Amino acid sequence: MMSTPAGHAPHAPGGPARLIALYLPQFHPIPENDAWWGKGFTEWTNVTRAQALFPGHYQPRLPSDLGFYDLRVPEVREAQAALARQHGIEGFCYWHYWFHGRRLLERPFQEVLQSGRPDFPFCLAWANESWSRSWLGDKRDILADQRYSHDDDLAHARWLAAAFADSRYLRIHGRPLFLIYRPFALPDARATTDTLRSEIVRLGLPEPYLVGINAHNPDADMRKLGFDMTEHHEPQLGALPGAYAPASLDRRMRMKLRKTLGRPAKVYTYEEARAFMASKVPAHPHFPCLFVGWDNTARRGQEAIIMTDATPEIVGAHLRRLIRSLSSKHPQERILFINAWNEWAEGMYLEPDHRYGTALLAEVARSLQEAAQPADPQPQTTRA
């Protein structure tokens, strides 16, 4: 059995929901990004360049309390964990970039693992897709190619075992939680899931709880590929009409926007976008995911998909409905992923910004507090 870091008490989840925020480790320079995008590139490079495309368009989106942080700094990671903990987030799900034994953007999580700090729960999600210039529209230019093999599955499991053994690692019924972003990209998904399970068990750890993300296959039941559960990912951009502008934009502004963009607008309100996505919610068992906004202008410029009016109050109302939907589940299985903690270039973050401060995090805390309150007793009627 592998040892766990000293000083960590096992986490005992409970309450109305287990909120796990997806976490992007992009906010520090690496040699590969220096070569591909320019010296010193981080996600902040795109964020600060974003420009509003129409009146009322909320861009650029800039951080407030945490500033333009560098994830190589331990105090930043401690501050993030403190904010999340204070507002009811149970843990972070770090995106994990593994390319046939090569890891990218690995430093923040590696330091979390090695230092034992912050003392805050976590799990991993393998972003198993090739890196390309796709966010600039060029999918032919592959920057880091994703390849697969049985030997790599074994090597991957052996690396994962060190993370799974950490007592901070998020578990379901004692089993370490591990997500895979593109299950259908695996040449033989069942072989990969079988190998991960068997090798982890051989190393003396509990069998991992494997979750397939349905971002690109919304109707798929990932249990058929050897997973324990499906994560129903949001946003489901494929559920959106190809071109749309909300009623909040008057006809003159729609025409002006079309002229500016050179195409019909892909602008939706948050409420409309979630309504469009409602048809994609699967009937089979799944872990829900709530996205807290979307606007990838920072990455795609005039090709962006934009969702307006994702105010803390509106997002909070959707969050409360999802939390209520978990009430019949076993407390260990009341998993609700939040997309995301810090996807700033996609306009999808819980961290404080200049417009709303900590209001969105306050809605998260409020939603949990309200869900934890006992239901009002039904008034008793008496007969005359």
Between CA 200 and CA 174 the distance in angstroms is: 14
**Mean pLDDT rounded to a whole number for the chain:** 91
Residue 242 tokens read as 């190809």
Mean pLDDT over 125-132 rounds to 93
> Which percentage of the chain shows pLDDT scores above 70?
92
What is the 8-class DSSP label of residue 66? T
Q: Which strand (E) or helix (H) includes residue 98?
A: strand 91-99
Q: Which strand (E) or helix (H) includes residue 349?
A: strand 348-349
pLDDT of amino acid 243: 85
Residue 308 tokens read as 């307006």
Mean pLDDT over 60-80 rounds to 98
Mean pLDDT over 345-372 rounds to 97
pLDDT of amino acid 13: 64
371 touches 17 (CB < 8 A):
yes
Amino acid at 254: R
pLDDT digits (tens, 9 = 90+) for 2-49: 334 333 444 556 689 999 999 999 999 999 999 999 999 999 999 999
Reply yes or no on whether the pLDDT at 366 is more than 60: yes
Reply yes or no on whether the pLDDT at 376 is more than 80: no
212 Rama class: left (phi>0) / alpha (psi -120 to 50) / beta: beta
All residues at 6 or more sequence positions from 128 whose CB lies less than 8 Å from its CB, including other chains? 98, 146, 180, 181, 182, 185, 186
Count the helix, strand and coil residues of the chain and give each as a percent rounded to the nearest 5: 35, 20, 45
DSSP string for residues in 122-152: EEEEE--S-EEEGGGTEEEEEEE-----HHH
pLDDT digits (tens, 9 = 90+) for 86-115: 999 999 999 999 999 999 999 999 999 999
pLDDT of amino acid 263: 77
Number of residues that this document lists for the chain: 384
Mean pLDDT over 144-149 rounds to 93
DSSP string for residues in 286-298: EEEEEE---B-HH
116-130, 242-256, 326-340: range with lowest mean pLDDT: 242-256
Between CA 347 and CA 45 the distance in angstroms is: 14
Q: What does the angle CA 240 – CA 244 – CA 249 come to, to the nearest 5 degrees?
A: 135
- How far is residue 189 from each of residues 94, 184, 211, 233, 260, measured CA to CA in Å? 22, 7, 12, 19, 44
191 touches 153 (CB < 8 A):
yes
Q: Which CATH class is domain 18-372?
A: alpha beta
The 10 Å Cβ neighbour count of residue 145 is 11
- Helices (H), ranges, the chain: 31-37, 43-49, 74-86, 107-115, 150-164, 189-202, 251-261, 270-277, 297-300, 312-325, 359-372
Reply yes or no on whether the pLDDT at 262 is more than 90: no
Residue 65 tokens read as 């309390």
Residue 73 tokens read as 């700094």
Reply yes or no on whether the pLDDT at 375 is more than 80: no
All residues at 6 or more sequence positions from 241 whose CB lies less than 8 Å from its CB, including other chains? 276
Closest CA to 211 of 243, 181, 254: 181
pLDDT digits (tens, 9 = 90+) for 164-219: 999 999 999 999 999 999 999 999 999 999 999 999 999 999 999 999 999 999 99
170 touches 20 (CB < 8 A):
yes
Residue 305 tokens read as 């998909």
